Amino acid sequence: MRRSTKARLGAVVAVISLGTALASGPPAAAAPTGGSDVRVTCNAGSVCGWTAYNFGGLGTTSAAVASGQCKNLSISVRSAINHSFSYQRFWTNSNCTGTSYLLAPGESATIMGAGHRGLGGF
């Protein structure tokens, strides 16, 4: 009789524990930092930009652009992170003309002024 009482008590404890876990729900997902678009991850070697200041709004990611080359961006960038290993220059025009903003490797800019539509290597 003693064994079955222990077995029942163990089963009751297991059911209560499971009920408590189910009632509390899944763990909350971590909120993105800096208000960035969670769809954009800026990995090593990448250059990332956002449509709003302070890494907010829509985002885009790109491989670093080689020196002397130009890449048109799909969005107008107002804040950026350079996780590449070379200097990258954001240009106000999509053909890498106009006013530029230079970011060193590992550097970020929360407020770049006017939107930038071109990305070039330096």
For the entire predicted model, the pTM comes to 0.66
Could you give the percent of the chain with pLDDT greater than 90? 61
Residue 119's Cβ-count burial label (10 Å; 0-12, 13-18, 19+) is buried
Take residue 64 and report the two structure tokens written for it: 């670093």
Is 102 within 8 Å of 87 (Cβ atoms)? yes
Whole-number Å distance between alpha carbons of 101 and 115: 10
Enumerate domains of the chain plus CATH numbers. Answer: 35-121 (2.60.20.10)
Whole-number Å distance between alpha carbons of 64 and 42: 11
Q: Is residue 100 pLDDT above 80, yes or no?
A: yes
Check residue 71 and give its pLDDT.
96
pLDDT digit string (tens) for 42-59? 899 999 999 999 999 999
